[in-house]
Chain A
Amino acid sequence: MSGSEAVAITAAVADPVPHRGPWRQAGARFLRRPLGVSALAVALALVVLGLVAPRISPYPPFQIWMQYLNHPLGLFHRGHLLGTDVLGRDFLAQVLYGLHETVVASLICAGGATVIGVVAGTLAGWYEGAADAAIGVVVALAAGVPALVVVLMVVLYEAPVVPMWFGVILMLYLWTSIARVVRAAVRPLRSREFVEAARAAGASELRILVRHALPNVTGPIVVGATALVGQAVTLIATIDFLGYGTEQGDKPTLGGLLVDAVPGLGKFMVQPPDRNWVIPAILIALLVVSVNVAGDALDDALNPAGRRE
């Protein structure tokens, strides 16, 4: 009896259980979500398209074909896949450069804001007292004013901005949301046993933070970063729509193209055809929705315990 048990136990121990770390497990969970995977694919495709846009664009965005002035060319013409706009400029080039602006600015914003937010949130969550209070006040101040207004103000102050600089301005405001999340996630870790064990083993504070605490908050960080991309795209589209984003003279923006939809707000005397604002509208919506859906699926994959159905 006991002999067979021993054999069974030895067998179980000897049986090579494939070792799967938490990241592999999260990856497997993510792959089981077809919606999340396809959303991530769409988001990545749009991002790559946006990054390489200036290289693959068939024409510069400001080149004008005089024969189409006030008589925009329709879709799917040889040489002009998406036709032209009212000024006779190739519309595919307009859309590609617009996507480039949005993607570059929102990625810089999300990346930078995540770094700032993680550092600030960790400081606030790990060390009580002055650091926590100072960061709390900044976060409260930031919540007191609409992000749109502050960013608009700074963009104006710094005008004209290039996409990269636009992203930096957004970053300087949007890091507070990540800091809030990280602070809340780091705080309860301080009193956990593995932190105490690391401290007892003589690990330095920095080592405890980087090797033991931060890996436990990667889930919220990844989710917060993807949410930031969505937020940034929304803000960029809005500010461009209002006419104050990236200088719009010869560099089109998705939000700026959207203005043509509203009678009386558009830049042209001739009412542009609907496709000239529907295509940018679809791109903006597709980008935000796919990034958000992918972020939610990542959230579920990375936080199996706190899964919301």
Chain B
Amino acid sequence: MTRYLVRRLVLALATLLALSFGSFVAFGTSFDPTYQFNLCGSEECKQQRAQIVAEYHLHDPILSRYWRWLSGFFHHGFGTSTGGFPIWPGLEHALESTAELLAAALVLTLLASLAIGIVSALRPRSGVDVVLRFAGYLSWSIPTVLIAVLLRRWLAPTGIIGGSVAPIQVQGITVLSDGPAGFTGWLARFTLPAVAVALGLTGLYSRYLRSALAVALAQPHVVVARGKGLPERVVVLRHALRTALVPLVSLVSLDVGAAVGATLVADVVFPTRGLGTMLLGTLKSDDPFELTAILVCLGATVLAATFLGDLAIAALDPRTRSAE
């Protein structure tokens, strides 16, 4: 088991490395962060441009630039953007927001899938089952971006339930506030985007859980559990659901990339100011360093979630623990 987890961890780190290399090279060769200085011809602009080129070694070969970035990463993290601002503080805020949204959406997805899957599997082909399956099918098919747009348009034109994003002053600069503070503020900010992400995922996973639970309910050990007179609640929740959960969790953790993609979209549609908003903002500034930092954080989010999924499977399925 430890060996398995270590192997997963090594693979995850290799993925991150490959991702950082790919994005650094792609952005570094295609984007010119000094383009705004090229537009004006004054001496001052030329000097500023030369300064940025020298500071970030923009004329060096791309491989040596990547090596400089990578070794620099272990000394001072993501460094500063070519605009002159440190990258990490803003990135940390966005990463936090995205991680919270992702966690909220995944918890919501699991709870809803469990509820729907159990109800459907216990009464296969009943009216409830048919309606739930149909609704799940629709919500899974329809793109998250569309669900998010509809929710925002109909339930929260301002993007926040029961409030608006009021501009506030921070150190003399007008910024948009995150809405009301505290837990109610958090709920107001994250409920709708989390629901938008969870709707699509629930449609998919409740279907998987329904069929996995139907298989589990037909297993001999469930028949035995019923035969020895256990209450139906215990039979379903402890004996059948336990075995049906393992494939569900492994599917969720395999597919967490799609969930993160959906989270980014919901983040753009609703003002939760996570990595999606930041990514779009940075794409306009053509800064390869900031873009690479964002992509590494995104990849790390996916890999961390997958790793947590592996741990959850190990906790649920004793066979994976004893293997190796």
Contact between chains at B302 and A146 (CB < 8 Å) = yes
User: In the complex the two chains form, is A149's CB within 8 Å of B264's CB?
Assistant: yes
Set of chain A residues within 8 Å of B298, measured between Cβ atoms:
145-146, 149
CB neighbors of A among B127-141 (8 A)? 137-138, 140-141
Which B residues between 106 and 162 are near A, CB-CB below 8 angstroms? Answer: 124-125, 137-138, 140-146, 149-150, 152-153, 157-158
| A288-B143 CB under 8 A given contacts A146-B264, A156-B283, A157-B30 | yes
Interface residues in A43-67 (C-beta closer than 8 Å to B): none
Query: Once the chains are docked, how many angstroms separate the CA of A293 from the CA of B149?
Result: 23
Contact indicator B258/A144 (Cβ below 8 Å): no
Contacts of B34 in A (CB 8 A): none
B19/A145 in contact, CB under 8 A: yes
**What residues of A have a CB within 8 angstroms of the CB of B140 in the complex?**
292
Rounded to whole Å, the gap between the CB of B299 and the closest CB of chain A is: 5
Nearest chain B residue, comparing its CB with the CB of A140: B11
Given the contacts A146-B302, A237-B146, A262-B149, A153 and B26 also touching, CB distance less than 8 Å: yes
Q: Is the CB of A281 within 8 A of B302?
A: no
Most buried by B among A146, A157, A255, A285: A146
Check B302–A238 contact: CB distance below 8 A: no
**A263 and B157 in contact (CB under 8 A), knowing A144-B257, A237-B146, A308-B211?**
yes
Q: Say if the beta carbon of A147 comes within 8 Å of chain B.
A: yes
Residues of B within 8 A of A277 (CB): 149
- B147–chain A nearest beta-carbon distance, Å: 10
Q: Is the CB of B141 within 8 A of A292?
A: yes
Residues in chain A near residue B142, CB distance under 8 A: 284-285, 288-289
The digit string for A142-163, where 1 denotes a CB below 8 A from any CB of B, is 0111111100111011000000
CA distance A238 to B283 in the complex (A): 16
Chain A residues with CB below 8 A from B141, complex form: 230, 285, 288-289, 292-293
A193 cross-chain contacts in B, Cβ below 8 A = none
Residue from A146, A233, A255 within 8 A of B258 (CB atoms):
A146
- List A contacts of B157 (CB < 8 A): 263
B306 within 8 A of A: yes
Q: How far is the CB of A100 from chain B (nearest CB, A)?
A: 18
Majority secondary structure of chain A interface residues (helix, strand, loop or mixed): helix
Q: In the complex, what's the smallest C-beta–C-beta distance from B119 to chain A, in angstroms? A: 16
Nearest B-chain residue to A159, judged by Cβ: B30
- Indicate the size class of the contact surface on chain B: 35 or more
Cross-chain contact B143 with A237 (CB below 8 angstroms): yes
Are A145 and B257 neighbours in the complex by a CB distance under 8 Å? Answer: yes
Q: Is B295 an interface residue (CB 8 A)?
A: yes
Whether A261 pairs with B153 at a CB distance below 8 angstroms is yes
Q: Given the complex of chains A and B, what is the CA–CA distance between A255 and B143 in angstroms?
A: 10
- Contact across chains for B283 and A237 when beta carbons are under 8 A apart: no
Q: Which residues of A lie under 8 Å from residue B137 when comparing CB positions?
A: 289, 292-293
Chain A 227-242, CB-CB to B under 8 Å as 1, else 0, gives 0001001100110011
What A residues does B153 contact at CB under 8 A?
Answer: 261-262
Known: A144-B303, A146-B261, A157-B26. A234 touches B18 (CB 8 A): no
Whether A144 pairs with B124 at a CB distance below 8 angstroms is: no
Give Cα A148–Cα B269 distance, bound, in whole angstroms: 15
By a CB distance below 8 angstroms, the chain B residues around A233 are 143
Contact indicator B145/A241 (Cβ below 8 Å): yes
Q: Are A242 and B268 in contact (CB under 8 A)?
A: yes
Cβ proximity bits B203-219 to A, threshold 8 Å, 1 near / 0 not: 00000000100000000
Contact residues in A for B306 (Cβ distance below 8 Å): 143-144
26 contacts between A and B (CB under 8 A): A141-B15, A144-B257, A144-B303, A145-B298, A145-B302, A146-B257, A146-B298, A147-B257, A147-B258, A148-B261, A149-B264, A149-B295, A153-B26, A157-B26, A234-B145, A237-B146, A238-B144, A238-B265, A241-B145, A241-B265, A241-B268, A255-B145, A261-B152, A262-B153, A265-B269, A293-B141
Q: Which residues of B contact A (CB under 8 A)?
A: 11-12, 15, 18-19, 23, 26-27, 30, 124-125, 137-138, 140-146, 149-150, 152-153, 157-158, 211, 254-255, 257-258, 260-261, 264-265, 268-269, 279-280, 283, 295, 298-299, 302-303, 306
* A residues adjacent to B (C-beta < 8 A): 140-141, 143-149, 152-154, 156-157, 230, 233-234, 237-238, 241-244, 255, 258, 261-263, 265, 277, 281, 284-285, 288-289, 292-293, 308-309
Closest 7 CB pairs of A and B: A148-B261, A146-B261, A144-B15, A234-B143, A289-B141, A146-B257, A146-B260
